[in-house]
């Protein structure tokens, strides 16, 4: 059961990501990507990592994709004039993906909770996760966090206000 | 201290709105509770009569000229003795904006505004009122005033024969 | 197998009950809001239909259903049609993890009074509430109207910024309860509600959820008098109704989260737990309505300033101090 679901979800995720990169409309692409992340979160859950599944939804779907949407909308990248296309065929892939994610979710929810042994042998709880993160992998976590810090500082440096440079450009 | 001012400025409004929550609302519940408008309220228009009981209107068309939405129309007519009156007189209340300009323009005080404001209706055609609907038995706001006793052509008194009038001047006599 | 069926039936019954309660509560919150706002402005509010206007919500629903469901010509039709449902659905879904009473013993079985007691309930709530923005944004974008787009952009920025401070304000609570499960968090507040233990976190969370629910001091995304209703400018009929009801469901959800996380959940003297829980939720909802009757709308730069330069540093500081104190107490 669990492995079948895993393959279905994997296919859904691949299809969603493929549609995302081939889609013309950036907002639609973001929605496909969100679907892909959902499938990925469900896969993590199936593999016995509910915490990572939750983070996947909170961080990627809830924050990063929202940022993408923000940028797309602020820059108005989305084509405003859409050609009047024949309609529903274009929506079949999206609807199919959404429907399969929904069905998989329901199947997972109504799986026999006592028979969790079908899937992974044990679920990693928040406590173990935290211990692994800040015990065994503490160094890696610190390195990654430093990298993020550098990225933030770099972004700030690149985006700082530079009144001087404009004057120079004017002179040349 | 800025911060105390800020905190007070944030919390005090809450106290005030809470106080309003327990104050009696100022609303007047209209169909059940009606308030009496002041006497000079501008609502339904009437045509009044002079103290003798004759129609005041002399069909001078000043009201219809003054009306910004052109909702007054009439036909002038004249009796044997030279007294003018409106053969028919029509006000379309569906268009009237109750501005009171007609009443202000009227030289005979015939057309007057009353405080009767409840004239809304589902049938706009019933709001087009004729002279029979508009004419009332009474003088309205000014009980004494009778146009023909102060000016106008000789219907009640000969020309220039009214108390506050001078006799008409013969223009030819003014030539030097 | 019969055990499984029983569990399933129980979950469905609880789900149905909660949906019914929440939907009617949302409908009556609309009425309550209109009445309370009216009284605060020295008006009566709706009072024509039934005693004290109690049938007004029914009339509203009838009106919304019978109105034309208008779809703009140049809009992205499917997304446009589907966005309002997403808003209402995500709002409803978060209630699955809210515990509203201690476990009940019926027929010798322990019956938890929560639809699904996830051990990461708090994270589930955060995840679902971060999904809530999608309905608004997609709806605003799909309408293909300038005002809707502006509303969508505003709500994106706002929700993104305040989600951070909201999450950071919750960590001290998790630290004291030593669990992500909402039931455990309520249990940990048996003697002291978290309001007393973490007053700063409470304040930060309060402001953040006010911003998250897009209600008055923070209602830039819909600002009727600036951008004509923002993301729902183009919506009419029941689709507008879904956005509208979604907002009030959200109010109930956030009120219950505040209750569960900071006001001690169902704990309280004398009255039965469920009564305490609903009283607290209603009180929080009243406070939100009260704030709407009192506060003017912030400017967008003020909003961002408050979020990024005040709330997030404060929340981080609070987190640091709480963690240090807890460590010191333990060691
Ligand atoms: S009140 Fe004004 S609008 Fe009405 S009839 Fe008189 S002049 Fe016309
Ligand atoms: S202004 Fe007075 S007198 Fe003249 S037509 Fe109108 S109502 Fe009659």
φ, ψ for residue C110 (rounded to 5)? -85, 125
- Range among A72-76, A86-90, A132-136, A139-143 rated most confident: A139-143
∠ CA C151-C156-C161, nearest 5°, is 130
Give the per-residue pLDDT at C108: 56
- Packing angle, helices C2-40 and C273-294, rounded to 10: 40
CA of A158 vs chain C CAs: smallest distance (Å): 20
Nearest CA to ligand 2 atom 1: B106
Please list, in sequence order, all residues whose beta carbon lies within 8 angstroms of the beta carbon of residue C124, skipping any fewer than 6 positions away.
Answer: A54, C94, C96, C97, C118
**Ligand 1 binding pocket includes B127 (Cβ within 6 Å):** no
The response to whether residue B110 sits with its C-beta less than 6 Å from ligand 2 reads yes
Q: Which domain holds residue C75?
A: 70-330
Q: Three-state SS for B88?
A: strand
Question: What confidence score (pLDDT) does residue B170 get?
Answer: 82
Residue C25 lies in a domain: no
Q: Tell me if C39 and B27 make a contact (CB, 8 A cut-off).
A: no
Is A73 close to C124, i.e. CB distance below 8 A? no
Q: Which atom of ligand 2 is nearest to the CA of B147?
A: 3
Would you place residue A165 in the very low, low, confident or very high pLDDT band (cuts 50, 70, 90)? Answer: low
Q: How many domains does chain C have?
A: 1
The pick from B69, B105, B127 for probing ligand 1's pocket by mutation, whose C-beta has the most ligand atoms within 8 angstroms, reads B69
Question: Per-residue pLDDT averaged across A137-155, rounded?
Answer: 90
At C193-213, the pLDDT tens digits run: 777 778 888 888 888 888 888
Cα–Cα dist B9/A137, whole Å = 49
Which of B46, B59, B85, B101 to mutate to test ligand 2, by most ligand atoms within 8 A of the CB atom? B59
**Is residue C19 situated within a structural domain?**
no
The most distant pair of C-alpha atoms in chain C lies apart, rounded to whole Å, by 66
State how far the Cα of C277 lies from the Cα of C275, in Å rounded to an integer.
5
* Chain C closest-CA separation from residue B145 CA (Å): 45
Helix (H), strand (E) at residue B103: helix B101-105
From ligand 2's centre to the CA of C201, what distance in Å?
76
**C35 within some domain:** no
Q: What is the DSSP string of A19-46?
A: HHHH-SSHHHHHHHHHHHHHHHHHHHHH
Q: Is the confidence at residue A117, as pLDDT, over 60?
A: no
Residues of chain B with pLDDT under 50: none
Task: Reduce the DSSP state of residue C200 to 3 states and report it.
Answer: helix
**Contact yes or no, A with C (3+ CB pairs under 8 Å):** yes
> According to the model, what pLDDT value does residue A171 have?
56
- Per-residue pLDDT band for A18 (boundaries 50, 70, 90) equals confident
Predicted confidence band of residue A115 (pLDDT cuts 50, 70, 90): very low
What token pair was written down for C143? 């309408």
Check residue A153 and give its pLDDT: 92
Percent of all residues in chain C with a pLDDT value above 90, rounded to a whole number: 0
Residue C41: its chain B contacts at CB < 8 A? 20
Torsion of CA A69, A74, A77, A81, to 10 degrees: 110
User: Taking a C-beta distance cutoff of 8 angstroms, is the pair C45, C36 a contact?
Assistant: yes
Q: B106: Cβ below 6 Å to ligand 1? A: no
Whether C48 maps to a domain, the answer reads no
Query: What's the rounded Cα separation, in Å, for the pair C142 and A91?
Result: 14
Please tell me whether residue C113 adopts helix, strand or coil conformation.
strand
pLDDT at A150 over 90: yes
Q: What residue's CA is closest to ligand 2, atom 2?
A: B106
Asked if B67 and B102 count as a contact pair (C-beta separation under 8 A), the reply is yes
CB of B111 within 6 A of ligand 2: the answer is: yes
- Is C188 a member of any domain? yes
Does residue C39 sit within a domain?
no
Tell me what pLDDT residue A89 has. Answer: 65
Nearest CA to ligand 1 atom 4: B96
Q: C21: which 2 tokens?
A: 């309660």
Any ligand 1 atom below 6 A from CB of B66: yes
More confident residue, A66 or C119: A66
Question: Searching chain B, which residue's CA lies closest to the CA of residue C42?
Answer: B25
Mean pLDDT for each 10-residue chunk of chain C (331 residues)?
70 79 83 87 82 82 84 76 81 78 64 66 82 83 82 84 85 81 78 79 87 80 76 81 83 84 77 79 87 84 85 88 85 61
Contact A110 C3 (CB under 8 A): no
Distance, CA of A69 to CA of B114 (rounded, Å): 62
Ramachandran sector of residue C216 (left: φ over 0; alpha: ψ -120 to 50; beta: rest): alpha
Instruction: Output the six-digit token pair for C111.
Output: 């019956």
Nearest Cα of chain C lies from the Cα of B14 at a distance, in angstroms, of 6
- CA-to-CA dists, residue B73 to B77, B91, B124, B133, C238, angstroms: 13, 7, 17, 14, 48
- Coil, strand, or helix at residue C260? helix
- H or E element in which residue B87 lies: strand B84-92
B139 lines ligand 2 (CB under 6 A): no
Tokens of C147: 């005002």
Asked if residue B59 has its Cβ within 6 Å of ligand 2, the reply is yes
> Are C290 and B18 an interchain contact pair (Cβ–Cβ within 8 Å)?
yes
C259-274 pLDDT, tens digit per residue, is 888 887 777 777 777 7
On whether residue C4 sits in a domain, the answer given is no
Ligand 2 centroid–CA B58 distance in Å is: 6
CA B152 to centroid of ligand 1, rounded, Å: 25
State the Cα–Cα distance between residues C171 and C189, nearest whole angstrom.
15
Ligand 2 binding pocket mutation candidate from B85, B106, B146 (most atoms within 8 A of CB) = B106
Residue A79 has a pLDDT of 57
Q: Select the residue from A55, A69, A87 to test the C interface by mutation, using most C Cβ atoms within 10 A.
A: A69
Q: Does C44 contact B at CB distance below 8 Å?
A: yes
| HEC letters along C15-53 | HHHHHHHHHHHHHHHHHHHHHHHHHHCCCCCCCCCCHHH
A116 — pLDDT class (breaks 50, 70, 90) = very low
Give me the numbers of helices (H) and strands (E) for chain A, helices first please: 8, 0
Q: Which ligand is nearest to the CA of B67?
A: 1
Q: What is the pLDDT of residues B104-150, one digit of tens each?
A: 999 888 899 988 888 888 888 888 888 888 888 888 888 888 888 88
* pLDDT category of residue A110 using cuts at 50, 70 and 90: low
ipTM, two decimals, is 0.74
Mutate to test the interface with C, among A26, A51, A58, A94 (most CBs of C within 10 A): A58
Question: What percent of chain C has pLDDT above 70?
Answer: 93
Q: Is the pLDDT of residue A78 over 50?
A: yes
| Higher local confidence (pLDDT), A168 or C24 | C24
Read off the pTM.
Answer: 0.75
**Which of residues 277 through 306 in chain C touch B, CB cutoff 8 A?**
290-291, 293-295
CA–CA distance, C166 with C288 (Å, rounded to integer): 17
Measured distance CA(C175)–CA(C328) in Å, rounded? 13
Determine whether the shortest distance from the Cβ of B69 to ligand 1 is under 6 A.
Answer: yes
Q: State the CB neighbour count (10 A cutoff) for residue A98.
A: 17
8 Å CB contact of A73 and C152: yes
- C59: in domain: no
């Amino acid at each position: 059961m669990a492995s079948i679901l895993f393959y279905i979800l994997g296919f859904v995720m691949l299809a969603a990501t493929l549609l995302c990169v081939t889609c013309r409309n950036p907002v639609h692409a973001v929605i496909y990507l969100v679907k892909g992340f959902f499938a990925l979160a469900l896969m993590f859950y199936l593999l016995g990592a509910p915490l990572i599944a939750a983070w996947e939804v909170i961080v990627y779907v809830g924050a990063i994709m929202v940022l993408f949407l923000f940028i797309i909308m602020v820059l108005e990248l989305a084509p405003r004039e859409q050609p009047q296309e024949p309609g529903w065929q274009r929506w079949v892939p999206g609807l199919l993906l959404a429907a399969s994610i929904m069905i998989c979710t329901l199947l997972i929810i109504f799986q026999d909770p006592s028979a969790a042994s079908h899937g992974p042998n044990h679920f990693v709880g928040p406590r173990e996760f935290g211990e692994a993160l800040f015990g065994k992998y503490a160094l890696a976590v610190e390195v990654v966090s430093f990298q993020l810090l550098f990225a933030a500082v770099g972004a700030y440096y690149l985006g700082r206000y530079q009144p001087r440079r404009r004057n120079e450009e004017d002179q040349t | 201290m800025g911060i105390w001012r800020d905190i007070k400025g944030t919390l005090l409004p809450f106290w005030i709105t809470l106080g309003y929550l327990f104050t009696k609302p100022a609303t007047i519940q209209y169909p059940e509770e009606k308030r009496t408008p002041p006497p000079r309220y501008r609502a339904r228009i009437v045509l009044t009569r002079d103290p003798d009981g004759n129609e005041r209107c002399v069909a001078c068309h000043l009201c219809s000229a003054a009306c910004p939405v052109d909702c007054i129309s009439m036909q002038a007519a004249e009796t044997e003795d030279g007294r003018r009156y409106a053969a028919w007189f029509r006000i379309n209340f569906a268009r009237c904006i109750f501005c009171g300009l007609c009443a202000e323009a009227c030289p005979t005080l015939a057309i007057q505004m009353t405080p009767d404001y409840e004239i809304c209706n589902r049938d706009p055609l019933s709001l087009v009122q004729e002279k029979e609907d508009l004419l009332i038995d009474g003088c309205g706001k000014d009980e004494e005033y009778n146009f023909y006793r102060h000016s106008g052509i000789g219907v009640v008194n000969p020309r220039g024969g009214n108390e506050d009038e001078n006799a008409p001047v013969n223009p030819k006599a003014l030539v030097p | 197998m019969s055990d499984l069926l029983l569990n399933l039936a129980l979950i469905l019954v609880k789900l149905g009950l909660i949906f019914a309660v929440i939907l009617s509560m949302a409908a009556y919150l609309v009425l309550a809001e209109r009445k309370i706002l009216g009284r605060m402005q020295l008006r009566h509010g709706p009072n024509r239909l039934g005693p004290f206007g109690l049938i007004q919500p029914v009339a509203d629903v009838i009106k919304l259903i019978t109105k034309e469901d208008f779809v703009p010509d140049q809009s992205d039709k499917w997304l446009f049609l589907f966005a309002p449902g997403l808003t209402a659905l995500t709002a409803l879904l978060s209630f699955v993890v809210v515990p509203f009473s201690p476990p009940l013993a019926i027929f010798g079985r322990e019956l938890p009074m929560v639809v699904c007691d996830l051990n990461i309930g708090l994270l589930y709530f955060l995840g679902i509430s971060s999904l809530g923005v999608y309905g608004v944004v997609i709806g605003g974008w799909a309408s293909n109207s300038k005002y809707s787009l502006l509303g969508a952009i505003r709500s994106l920025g706002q929700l993104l910024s305040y989600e951070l401070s909201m999450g950071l304000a919750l960590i001290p609570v998790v630290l004291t309860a030593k669990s992500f499960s909402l039931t455990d968090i309520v249990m940990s507040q048996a003697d002291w509600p978290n309001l007393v233990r973490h007053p700063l976190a409470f304040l930060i969370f309060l402001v953040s959820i006010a911003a998250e629910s897009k209600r008055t001091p923070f209602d830039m995304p819909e600002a009727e008098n600036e951008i004509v209703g923002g993301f729902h400018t183009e919506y009419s009929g029941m689709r507008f109704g879904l956005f509208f009801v979604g907002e009030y469901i959200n109010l109930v959800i956030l009120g219950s989260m505040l209750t569960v996380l900071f006001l001690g959940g169902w704990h309280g003297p004398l009255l039965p737990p469920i009564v305490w829980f609903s009283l607290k939720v209603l009180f929080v909802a009243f406070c939100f309505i009260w704030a709407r009757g009192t506060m003017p709308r912030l400017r967008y730069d003020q909003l961002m300033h408050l979020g990024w330069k005040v709330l997030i540093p404060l929340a981080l500081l609070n987190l640091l101090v709480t963690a240090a104190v807890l460590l010191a107490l333990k060691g």
